[in-house]
Amino acid sequence: MKEAGGGFTRLINVERAGRDAIQFDVEATEEECRALAERLDILGVSDVRAVGSLARQDASGQIALTAHLTANAVQACVVTLEPVPQEIDVEFTVFYTFDKDDLADDEEVEKVIGLEDEDPPELIVNNRINLADMISEQIALALEPYPRSRNLSDDEQPEGVDTAADDKSHEVHRPFANLRDLMSKK
């Protein structure tokens, strides 16, 4: 595994990947975490660690990257801009291919990929995979899209947001709870 200068980059050569999986354990330095936070346009990220393996798939020849990613991210509240911390703990699998034909890169055909469908494989360039790119992408996918501070007053709550939904002790409104009683009175 090589480190390249600038930002956050971890290249791993997969040219000779065979039956035995290539194990990796990537921890980002403080400088790399700052670069990653800048790339993601968030306030900060720390304790980034990805542990996993790369293994060639027998049938397709593709390489499967399977990893467990943990990180701590800090975003700005969408209302007050206060820092909102978030713990990230995800497992993921991504497929890579050496063959450009596997990508189905036909611009004339519009392709829709559903939530249940498998993502198309990523292309391996120069026989190397940049683990940092996949780590960055997985953190971006795991981030809360609209982070809100827990300290918001009722005046600061955005319109249409039910603050009581966050409170576990809030009683659930059941509009048809008494329907059976009403029906039996007829």
Residue 77: Cβ within 10 Å count: 17
Task: Judge whether 179 lies within some domain.
Answer: no
Task: Judge whether 10 lies within some domain.
Answer: yes
Mean pLDDT over residues 91-114, rounded?
A: 71
Q: Report DSSP letters for 50-96, one per residue.
A: EEEEEEE-TTT--EEEEEEEEEEEEEE-TTT--EEEEEEEEEEEEEE
* pLDDT band, residue 1 (cuts 50/70/90): very low
How many domains, the chain?
1
Task: Judge whether 178 lies within some domain.
Answer: no
Task: Judge whether 142 lies within some domain.
Answer: yes
What values do phi and psi take at 164, rounded to 5?
A: -70, -20
Share of the chain above pLDDT 70, in %: 74
Question: Are the beta carbons of 71 and 82 closer than 8 angstroms?
Answer: no
Hey, which residues does 128 pair with through a beta bridge?
Answer: 13, 125
Question: Are the beta carbons of 74 and 86 closer than 8 angstroms?
Answer: yes
Task: Judge whether 98 lies within some domain.
Answer: yes
**Which pLDDT score is estimated for 59?**
75
Q: What is the pTM of this model?
A: 0.71
**Which pLDDT score is estimated for 58?**
76
* pLDDT band, residue 65 (cuts 50/70/90): very high
Q: Is the pLDDT of residue 124 over 60?
A: yes
Q: Is the pLDDT of residue 60 over 50?
A: yes
Task: Judge whether 50 lies within some domain.
Answer: yes
Task: Judge whether 136 lies within some domain.
Answer: yes
Mean pLDDT over residues 50-57, rounded?
A: 91
Q: What's the whole-number average pLDDT of the chain?
A: 80
Domain extent at residue 106: 2-155
Question: What would the pLDDT profile of 137-161 be if each residue is shown by its tens digit?
Answer: 999 999 999 998 887 665 555 555 5
Task: Judge whether 171 lies within some domain.
Answer: no
Tokens of 41: 């346009």
